[in-house]
Structure 1
Amino acid sequence: MKKTISHSKYPVSLACALSGLAIVSFCIAGAMLAMFVSTGMDETIRYTGERLIQSSGANVVQTLEDYMDLPTVTNQLFARTYENSDLDALSATQVAETLKQLIRTDLFGHVSVDRVSFTTPDGNYVAFNRLDVNNKKIINMEKTSGDAHNILNVYEGSTEYSRVVETVYDFNKLVQPWLEKAEQSKKSFWSRIYPRSYNKNDRMLAYRTPVYNRAGKLLGVISSEIMPDSMSRYVCEVLPFKDNTILITGRDNNIVSSSEMPISPALLQPELASAAKEHHQAEGKRLTTKELRQLLTPEIMEKSTHQGSSAEITSGKGDKYIVHTIKYGSTDRELHGHVLLITSQDSLSGSIKKTIIAFAIKIMGLFAIVYLIAAIVLRNFFSPLNNIIGKNKDLLNMQWKPEENKRLFPEVATLDSSFFRLSHELAARTEKHRKLVEEDNLTGLPTRAGMLSKPESYEGKNLLARVHVSNAANIARVMGLEYSGRFLRSFVSRMKNILPGGTLLCRDDFGSFLAIFPEVYEQKDLMFFEDILQSLFLDIKSDGDAETERYCFIGNSGMFFGHMTQERMPEVILNSGIAVQHAEKIGNGESLVFVQEMQEQGLENIRLHEKLQHAIANDEFHIVMQPIMNLDNQSSCNEGESLIRWQTPDEGFISPIKFISLAEESGLIIPIGRWVIAQSCKQLAKFIVRGGPKDFKLHVNISAMQLQQPDFASHLFTCIQENELMNGNICVEITESTLMKHTDQIVDTLKYLRRLGVNVAIDDFGSGYSSLSYLHSFPFDCLKIDRTFVSDILTNEKNAAVVSSVLTLAKSFNVPLVAEGVETLEMLEKLQEMGCERVQGYYFSRPLPFDDFTATVNRG
């Protein structure tokens, strides 16, 4: 595992990178702004100005159309007041208050009509004017008098009691053409621009509506009037520039209104439309009356008929102006025309440029302030952060000290506090982990890791023992961890009492312990320590601890004798474990000292296991048979044992004693056993075809692991049927030790085989776990006594007595006894004398291939 990580790093810190980025961006923004102002602003300003004028023009038209809707709304309000009445006529006195209220009403904010009037069919006339005098709203009244209503009195105030300021004689409304038009058309209409009756300089534009009662009789005509000259001044309020000039043209392209000084009546004719007053501007360049007359030619006015068009005009001084044209119209579309916005290009660009520069300076100033604040914030953020980064070793050493007496940002403070807590938590967890790794909670002993972490405890020593309690795991499975814990602690107490003082004990595995003896020993001392280690399992004398007498300890030990160093300890512990494995094969309590041949044998087993797998795949096994002779008829043979042999290409013959146990340990006995059954049935079938007895009984060795396979019986019967054999042709041989493993399962399988005619023989009887109790419950057809009892039957009376007892036992169960390992005539005669009926051994024949046997088997 890597202890360090190599990162690809940037050449500067984050703080420097951010500061540099801020400075560079500020300089780039300033340079781009300066470049824009010096080079590219004109086109941008022109485009911006035109968009601004167009937007302003839309506001102008909307405002103008709202202004022209005032008379329409005023007339509708008045007409609806009397349209449902039953009056046959209205007098000026009756409508005066209504008119006065309408003129006072601000329909659109601060804007209203300039005059409202009502004329009856008989010429009676009353009107109210709205005047602005010294920024004050003043209402004055106009009213006709006399029998013929031909005298017009203009009052100073809004009532007849006010002072008359002017009188107009020969005033006759009945001769006005619009009155006749109202009576005939019966609908509202706009008038042409006309001068005020008593002031020819005031131009008026009226919207007239006939008023009828419920029966449809004409009561009179309501007129709402506005002054065209005030129209342009009103709409100028929505323009963004002070030096705009507005011209409003009518349907005949005549000038209706101008934002300049009031236009004289002479300018009302279309042919004189290009003659304008002097261009009056609060700021910017001025146009004289003569220049304006020259510039606004009939062609320019004609161009105004095209909606949204614009044109440039240049004065005699070279000043350029932009003329932008927009169409307008009243709600009823009877009053319509165009609005011309005339703007000085220099004033426009100058105003926009000043605005842009001022805005840019403000933005740059704001950026500078923001950058300054950001720099201060970054400094206050990164300074303590760098301090924290510089203390990383304190975190690794679990000695973190927090930043004190400093104001920190919440993120940095949280990071500092987290590292402080992490440092303490790491220290606590490290200690806890060390105890878990180096100390065993169950026994209180050090673990292997704990022992190896202290080289001084084993360096310089030369004797280590591995003690394995083999029944500890089974006790834990059966009795539980609590009981097994007491069991192991009792064994630790026993080791402390028996092993020499100063011996270092540590727990290596669940039931394994390591013992390092305190001194340096010689070869002759090893037998002494073997006896001590054996006494841990075999000595039943009290060792002073009554608790230990309650448990039975089964196990073995292995010793390593040699120089121990920190580098060699894994090898030392491994070799002691190998010695334990060899001791377990001898028996309980055995203790062995590791020798190199043990490791070589282990390596040989590994190599043999690999060859065994290769042998299965490459069909290196073959089957041989050794006959079993009936002493009552030695001229023929009706029974034999099938044996497996392994012939390798490079090593030759390998003994079954060597590879069968290895196959059982590794589980390879399953495929090998299936192959043996299949080949035995096949070879037996061929033997019978060649003339062998049809009732020939072939013994096949079966391991306990094979019997536990769920498909064992089905595979056996399949092989029998495929080779056209009888079930009685096969005898299953199991060892006596197999009976002690998984008895119930094995008994059920063997009972099933016997019910279907397969024989069962117990092999190596008497070699280990012989017991009369299980023989009464176990199904079998034959006993085979182990060759170790037969081999010295002539010289060993005890073995002869065992053979005699087994013969008696076989007769009591009414089954034959087969004596294995008969090699001489004297042994045969002795067994025959004792009453043995069947024998097997080299005296008659060695195991040979099936093809070497005929129906009659003679002595070899």
Structure 2
Amino acid sequence: MKNSLITREYSEPGKQQVVKQVRLLNSISLKLIVTSLFVFILTIMFGLAVFLQYRSENRIFDSLSDKLISAHIEYVHTNLFNFLKVPIQANASVEMTMQELLSGEMANLDEFESPLMATMKRVFPYSPQLSLVAFGAVNGDYIGVSRETITDTYTLILKDKRTQGTLNFYSGMDTKNPIIKTIDKYDPRTRPWFREVNATRKPSWTRAYWDLDAIRGISISYSSPVYDMDNRYVGVVSSDIKLNRFNRYLQQIPNLGNGVIFIVNDNNEIISHSTIEKPILKPENGLPEQERAHLLTPENSESVIIRTIAPYLSHPKHSKIILSIDGETYYGRIVSFGKELGLHNWRIVVAIPQSDFVGQLNDERKTTFSMIFVIFLLGVTMAWFILSRVTNPIQYVATQARLLAGQKWSPAHQSRFELKEIKQLNDAFNDMSLTLSTAFSRLEHQVYYDSVTGLLSKEGLQKQLQLLNAQENATVWNGLILLSLDNINAVNNSLGYQKGEALLCEFVKQLQEIVPSRTLLARVNDLEFAICYPEDCGCEKAEDEIARYVHIYINSQGCESEHPLFAGNIGLVKEVYDDQTLAVILRNASVALAAARKRGAGAFEIYRPEMMSRAVENTQMLTELNQAELNQELRVYFQPIIDLHHRKVIGAEALIRWQSKAYGMVPPYIFIPLAEESGLILSIGRWVLRESCRQLALKIASGWPADFNIHINVSARQLYQADFDSVIVATLNEFQLSACNLTIELTESILLERGTIISEQLGRIRALGISVAIDDFGSGFSSLSYLHRLQFDCLKIDRDFVSGILESAKNEAIISSVIRLAKGLNVPLIAEGIETKEVADRLYELGCPRGQGYYFGRPIPLDEWQMPGTGK
């Protein structure tokens, strides 16, 4: 539209010119554009070169700053060391002199006036930082000499018996000079410089404190103990340094320029600094009464440089720092100091601006870089303009490609500025959109609908519920029925998939004839179908209609002429749900369906919360059972089988036990069904077979009869395995046992299920010489029809008949019949559940040859057996 409006404004020759331009643009290749981009890349490379040059210069600046700061640090460190060493030397001098003078009791301190004066005037005349040398005795006396360097005057400070306990300040070095000041009740033993040394007897530095000497101010004292000629502790000598001397010293450091040097103690308080600002004291009212001075911290300094450095002082790992303050780069260094002097964690901090050693070079560099940056911006702007004109069509195609993922593709419009390759790409996307649109529609149908029945799939059911719930009058769903068609796989395997699909469609057809019109019917997996009921015909109606669904299973007739039956079960959930909770409802219905399967084909169950708890418990137990063999929790116990005539052991039945670490001793009737359902019975069955043969082989090797026979129970799943007979042979060969040592037991229910498969497997097993016993005979369907079809070697009559033989004439008659049947079939009969001698005797009188029960022995490990014998 836009192109047509533009061309209308031109004359006919102008239109022809525009058409030629469009054709020319459509024929231009990307090579021309690459050439333009190459110029842009050169600009980038030039910028990179400038950057590398800038980085190189910065490295030079860093090196210069490092050397300059190192020189300052070394200068400050050396001179500060000498500066702070003076009080240590002064104390040593005084200590030596006093030790020679001290002997016995001290009456007055007049003998010390001369040594203190000599130390100040003759020993350290050129050390103005030494403001006071004093001695405090253990009895509380005090003498000191204070120096004012500006006027070069000295003040005697004294407290002893001559001053009657008062601290006097004299205008000269003699007590005859006028007293210029007095302090009552002064006790040096309470002062910081005296207390710590008095307690430890070791030299130490005090923290900064408000001094009370003639020249009042903040001092740092070095104190050390004094001993007399007899090595008796007599007091403390202290030398003071005024902090203002620190400041003057630092301010006079040469070549510092606009840099800053300051010193902090272990509490991150400023001891001294080179800046011109207020004193380092925090202003406090009544400071003369304070014993300890309150120094400024770097955070409270007037210097913005010191305040900026303050956070780095709390982190020891920061030794070299680079700061940016008001657009100026500062190079800094933090160095520990004073350890050799006894000053712990003092630090010297130096910060120098880059401009001090770069000078005008930095300004010229900024001008050059600014010009280069302007040129770079112009080049970028031009390149951006060109690329925009080129890439707009590509971006449009990319947008259409993203719409394609959401199935919102529309054919791309032709642009008058499309290049040849872009036009080809646009045309290809238009063609692909048509193909993908058709493929997406087909794939969506496959996802949301079942290909065989045409019903909604599980995903389709979810989508349908979502669409219905999004409507203004959203449907409320209440009740879900889950039906299974469990024999569909068997039909597929035996009759073919065509017959299976026909059976499936017939089942769906009968369902559709029954389900109400407003319900949703879906095939949620290969074997299961879900029916969703809306609230107006909710769960009560669903429960009423279950009988109609059950009727499909009971009276169904299949397709064509073979009439296969529908085998399955039904689970019902009576809860309100929507598309968000459908998965939970289907899970609950599946739990109810699984419970219905346990009741047999055609049964139904309504979901109850305890079903889920039971299912979770069974799942957890199945998990433990899966690890039982690996964790060596399975056991095989053996119960003896007795020859009732000779009353001797002729064999044993192997019975599995599970000693679980989590559940304790789990009865077989609990975990064997779980193993059957999950398929674990195959691995467990093989383990029982192998473990029983292994233990029997050890007993035979130790002297047991070579024909001792072990009865092992076998499940239907094991008999369905084509290699089951091969597994038996391999196990017997592994432990060098013969076929006569093994009898497998199976129940009537197994014999009635898939008789042909069972018969063929049992035929192969008996051909190996292994005996087959029918366990719990008479407890199943009580049908004798299978006896003429199956070959077996032994019958075991159920314990329910045996336990009541003495009290019930009917039980005795049944047992007598079974005994005669066994004799007629020429197979031995074993009576299970013999618990008393009377029952054993009666069975023998009736002609029963063998017995088994608690009377002869409970199941125990084979290792606990004695040599096979008889009786209890």
TM-score by length of 2: 0.49
